[in-house]
Structure 1
Amino acid sequence: MPLVALSPNANGETAERWGYAGAHGLHDKSLGEIGVIGSVSQAFCGTCNRARISTEGKVYLCLFATHGYDLRSLLRRSKGLSDLELQHAISNIWRKRDDRYSEARSTEAIGTFTGGSHRVEMSYIGG
């Protein structure tokens, strides 16, 4: 089946997508689509707008993160947080983000980048 390139669905979309073409050569949604996320070869750190929360309540700001931020303890405080306080806490975490694994890797010579600390497994955070 032939494939046709698809435009991004939203700002910050990270996948290059192709749809299966129908009889008229256009994408037929009933046939589906495929996508490739080239996070290492085509770094998108600067435009990334995603975070992931683990089952243990830690928020990770990168698929290649070396650490997470504990949201569970914030939510379980005896008093609890208001929605606005939680929004501020998450905003503060996001502003501090410094994970740039793919960008850093792409500036190093192939085979010489070590990446520093141990990273969380992508399957643990839904990657």
Structure 2
Amino acid sequence: MVLRLAERWPLSPLGRNGGGTARRWRYHDDVSGLGVAASISEPFCGDCNRLRITADGQAFTCLFASQGTDLNPAMGSDQELEQVIRALWQRRSDRYSEERHCKADPVPRAEMAYLGG
């Protein structure tokens, strides 16, 4: 996709921002650019630092997760909420983009619009 865009509008690669997931390019006008989070063709699971929390309090450690973790029981205390989120992040094992070719049966995923992706 980026190669096709670059054929029409010359692009210069910028790489990724610190904790960002998108690879970025700048147009030669030095004003505008684009970013692409190519999680399927260029997985970044090991570098991902994104946690998505839905409006109903479900935390998803992966955009492709099939289910989230309910944060509502921990909402009464900032300290408890922090502990729950830290524990969730430390035990995460989501590697959908890296493992998707190895899986025989696809697992239903939450809709990106629901997760904010």
TM-score class, shorter-chain normalisation, is 0.7 to 0.9
- 3-state SS of 2:79 partner: helix
- 3-state SS of 2:26 partner: strand
Aligned equivalents of 1:56 and 1:122: distance in 2?
Answer: 15
Residues 84-110 of structure 1: CA deviation (Å, up to 9, x unaligned): 32211110111121221111024x3xx
2:91 is aligned with 1:99: no
Per the alignment, residue 120 of structure 1 pairs with 110
| Corresponding letter in the other structure for 1:103 | E
Q: Unpaired runs of 5+ in structure 1?
A: 23-27
Per the alignment, residue 88 of structure 1 pairs with 83
Aligned equivalents of 1:21 and 1:113: distance in 2?
Answer: 44
CA contact (8 A) 2:71 2:81 kept: no
2:39 is aligned with 1:39: yes
| Corresponding letter in the other structure for 1:41 | S
Equivalence map 1:1-127=2 (5 Å): 1-11=9-19, 13-22=20-29, 28-29=30-31, 32-75=32-75, 80-81=76-77, 83-106=78-101, 108=102, 113-115=104-106, 117-127=107-117
Structure 2 vs 1, CA of residues 102 and 71 (structure 1 numbering), >3 Å: closer, same or farther? Answer: same
Aligned equivalents of 1:97 and 1:121: distance in 2?
Answer: 20
How far 1:48 moved relative to its partner? 1.0
| Corresponding letter in the other structure for 2:64 | F
TM-score (norm 1): 0.77
- 3-state SS of 1:42 partner: coil
The number of aligned residues is 109
How far 1:113 moved relative to its partner? 4.6
- 3-state SS of 1:7 partner: strand
